[in-house]
Amino acid sequence: MGRTLPRQPAGTTGRLFTVESAEATLVLVRRIVTDVVAAYGELMRLRSELQDLSVETGRERELQELRGQIDQRLETLKRLHVELKEIGCELKDFSAGLVDFPALYRGRRVWLCWKLGEDRIAHWHEWESGMAGRQPIDDAFAAELRTAAPCAAQDPQHSVGCEDPEPAG
């Protein structure tokens, strides 16, 4: 009889990562997240400009142009967010570039945590605790993840993560 995994929240992928398989995605994830942070910053600037212009009269053409630019940035952010979800990770903060990768540790779901500017994935946190609960990854933790998700540990360079045996549903 197999063990039962805790249910994952709706909307998350069915992939589980080891530290190695998550780090194997960082070249691509880093590029995508760099674009996310830039697009989000531009979106916030455009929204502020729109708010400032909206109190003035006779600026309808400029307002319409700004709305079009905002829509473009929103579409860009949606596309980039989908790209990250397809990899199997979750974007947690658009301005800071915070990304979590689902993993299984001692029979419970946890997140491997990475932030734009960090060289590697060096932290993890409980499923519900968020960035405030970040803990350093040590060798024992990484080894436990390889045991829990052996398919990702076999070939981390070519594995995007294991399929979770019990995806959200």
What does the H/E/C string look like for the chain? Answer: CCCCCCCCCCCCCCEECCHHHHHCCHHHHHHHHHHHHHHHHHHHHHHHHHHHHHCCCCCHHHHHHHHHHHHHHHHHHHHHHHHHHHHCCEEEECCCCEEEEEEEECCEEEEEEEECCCCCCCEEEECCCCHHHCEECCHHHHHHHHHHCHHHHHCCCCCCCEECCCCCC
Residues 25 and 48 in one domain: no
* Number of other CB atoms surrounding residue 33 within 10 Å: 26
List Cβ neighbours of 73 (8 Å cut-off, separation of 6 or more): 39, 40, 42, 43, 46
Are 100 and 79 in a shared domain? no
Predicted confidence (pLDDT) per residue in 118-135, tens digit: 999 999 999 999 888 999
Do 116 and 145 share a structural domain?
A: yes
10-residue mean pLDDT series, the chain (169 residues): 42 77 96 98 95 78 92 97 95 96 92 97 93 92 82 46 50
97 lies in some domain: yes
Q: Evaluate whether residue 121 is within a structural domain.
A: yes
21 vs 146: CA distance, rounded Å: 10
User: Both 76 and 96 in a single domain?
Assistant: no
Among 65, 87, 109, where does a domain finish? 87
Structurally, the chain folds into a number of domains equal to 2
Q: State residue 109's pLDDT score.
A: 92
Residue 1 maps to a domain: no
Same-domain status, 142 and 67: no
Question: Which token pair is 140?
Answer: 């024992």
∠ CA 84-86-119, rounded to 5°: 40
Is the residue at 2 inside a domain? no
Q: Is residue 57 part of a domain?
A: yes
| 25 and 92 fall within a common domain | yes
- The reply to whether 94 and 158 lie within a common domain is yes
Identify whether residues 106 and 23 lie together within a single domain: yes
User: Would residue 5 count as lying in a domain?
Assistant: no
Q: Which of 113, 112, 86 is nearest to 32 (CA)?
A: 86
Q: Is the pTM of this model over 0.85?
A: no
Q: Is residue 153 domain-shared with residue 93, that is, in the same domain?
A: yes
User: Which residues partner with 124 through β-bridges?
Assistant: 112, 135
CB 112 within 8 A of CB 29: no
Domain final position from 60, 87, 114: 87
pLDDT of residue 169: 41
Domain end position, chosen among 87, 107, 131: 87
